[in-house]
Amino acid sequence: MALIPEPTHDNWIGRHRALRASRRGLFAAAMAGGLAATLAERLPRWLGFSSSTTPDAGDGTLHMLGATSQIPVGGGKIFRAQKVVVTQPAAGTFKAFNAACTHAGCLVDSISDRKINCPCHPGVFRIDDGVPVSGPPKRPLAPAVVSVQGDQLYLHV
């Protein structure tokens, strides 16, 4: 039969100190977790790196593509990582298309003379609406959605 020690002043003090120490540890862990979460969220901005994604107001996610100034008027830019091409047919009007060619799926690779060019066969699309104008593609490039906030361009994914 196990003996349960009678509570004494000494073992009560010991338990009280152990409880205080564990509370301090728990508080320190919570503070460290909160600090880590805050740093993970804010450090990239403090260091000059923008967080590339942010929740959309609707049901998607916004992916920051960068400044609108990188999209020339009458031209465009291909974002290979996002597989999207963004054009600016007229000043302040931005269009976006899936960069996969509608002929056989190659990624378009250049923009010239208001045209988006596919290197594979070679297909050519208008920057205004993605409609094919020469080569084997018969269907326009699939539209993508971009928006401008301030001077930044966001892709809706």
Judged by the rule CB under 6 A, the positions of this chain that interact with ligand FES are: 101, 103-104, 106, 118, 120-123, 135-137
In angstroms, the CA 57 to CA 152 distance is 16
By CB atoms closer than 10 A (0-12, 13-18, 19+), residue 68 is middle
Closest separation between CB of residue 100 and ligand FES, Å?
Answer: 8
Q: DSSP string of 9-32?
A: HHHHHHHHHHHHHHHHHHHHHHHH
Identity of the residue, 144 or 153, whose beta carbon is nearer to ligand FES in the bound complex: 144
Closest separation between CB of residue 82 and ligand FES, Å?
Answer: 18
**How many residues does this entry show for the chain?**
157
Closest separation between CB of residue 84 and ligand FES, Å?
Answer: 16
